[in-house]
Amino acid sequence: MAGGQERILRRRIKSVQSTRKITKAMELIAASRIVKAQQRVSAARPYSEQITEVIRNLAAAGAGSDSPLLKERETVESVCYVVVAADRGLAGGYNSAVIRTAERAMLADRQAGRTTALVTVGKKAYSYFRFRGYEIAESFTGFSENPTYDDARRVAQQVAERFESGEYHQVKLAYTQFLSMASQRATVGTYMPLDSSSIEAIKDSGGDGPRADYEFEPNPGEILDRLLPRYAEARLFAALLDAAASEQSARQRAMKSATDNAEEIITKLSRVMNRARQDAITTEIMEIVGGAEALRQAGAGGEDLLIDETILSDFFQHQPLAH
């Protein structure tokens, strides 16, 4: 019985050791990808800052705020949610955090009498909402870990067209904001209409402060209308990069935790196996001691419980040799 238990424990330890190798490898891969994701976030920041600066210069030159992407509806009756999650799991609570944050916001809008629509980015978000019967307007998958600007453009164009046509009165973006290696935050914010506070602030102040004197061709309003879709794409691209970095960070922590748990399980199973082996050895020793004691008592005058030596000799002499 003890020998069978030992074999079972050996198989379990070997299985956990194999799992530990996999989780350790995934931890190292995720750690290396976090660095690349952070570099991409840093590389995309100058473009976002420059396009924001151009929009401010256009506003200072008198560009109007009557663009469809800036126009706020008097009454919001329909809200579209763009939910950014991952294509794969094994990332701890990364997917569930952003999905549930978006779901709570959607339920709040529905309770307020608004209709909601869904645009999902990532297989996990699509699978979750489809399983629960939500109507999904668009779904984008295959680039959660390594998004490109073209991916952001495709998503932004789909949403912007429906927003400008009036199908959606408001668009909200749910994604995971990357704060640091150890901290990420699921957030939901207004994506469309675009935030016009900086434009209005410049107009109200009259363009105070030093600024360059530009000549625009065509007029600033037309340039602003053409530039705002690029601004929307840049904002979405920044959110996708943040989500990608957050995903890798969450996966690295999850795999590290899994590796640590595997090592703890191996230690506990090894102790149980050693205890079982010691029990088996103790049992064998007790059986040997008991047999020796029986032999000693028999040799001291008790009933001979052993077969006579002559009988054993005759038995072995008549047996054929084993080949």
Is the pLDDT at 3 greater than 80? The verdict is: no
Q: Which helix (H) or strand (E) holds 83?
A: strand 78-84
Backbone phi and psi for residue 315, each to the nearest 5 degrees, phi listed first: -65, -45
Whether 156 and 138 have beta carbons less than 8 Å apart is answered as no
Residue type, 11: R
Helix/strand number for the chain, H first, E second: 7, 5
- What is the pLDDT, as a whole number, of residue 70? 79
Residues forming a β-bridge with 180: 183
3-state class (DSSP) for residue 122: coil
Is the pLDDT at 100 greater than 90? The verdict is: yes
Backbone phi and psi for residue 63, each to the nearest 5 degrees, phi listed first: -65, 135
Count the neighbouring beta carbons within 10 Å of the beta carbon of residue 2: 16
Whether 280 and 3 have beta carbons less than 8 Å apart is answered as yes
| Across 38-65, average pLDDT | 77
Give the confidence band of 62 by pLDDT, cuts at 50, 70, 90.
Answer: low
Q: Domain-by-domain residue ranges, the chain?
A: 27-205+212-251
Token pair in block for residue 26: 């995934």
Rounded to the nearest integer, the mean pLDDT of the chain is: 83
Tell me the angle at which helices 94-111 and 123-131 cross, rounded to the nearest 10 degrees: 50
- What is the pLDDT, as a whole number, of residue 199? 56
Which superfamily, per CATH, for 27-205+212-251? ATP synthase, F1 complex, gamma subunit (3.40.1380.10)
- What is the pLDDT, as a whole number, of residue 202? 47
Whether 299 and 310 have beta carbons less than 8 Å apart is answered as no
Q: Would you call 111 exposed, middle or buried from its count of C-beta atoms within 10 A (0-12, 13-18, 19+)? A: exposed
- What is the pLDDT, as a whole number, of residue 71? 80
Q: Which of the two residues, 95 and 210, has the higher pLDDT score?
A: 95
Residues forming a β-bridge with 7: none
Give the confidence band of 99 by pLDDT, cuts at 50, 70, 90.
Answer: very high
Cα–Cα distance, 208 to 159 (Å, whole number):
35
- What is the pLDDT, as a whole number, of residue 301? 59
Residue with tokens 């090894």: 270
Report cis status (omega within 30 of 0) of the bond before 218: yes
What is the chain's percent helix, strand, coil content, to nearest 5? 60, 10, 25
Report cis status (omega within 30 of 0) of the bond before 193: yes
Give the confidence band of 226 by pLDDT, cuts at 50, 70, 90.
Answer: confident
Q: What is the CA radius of gyration of the chain?
A: 35
Q: Which of the two residues, 68 and 12, has the higher pLDDT score?
A: 12
Count the neighbouring beta carbons within 10 Å of the beta carbon of residue 191: 24
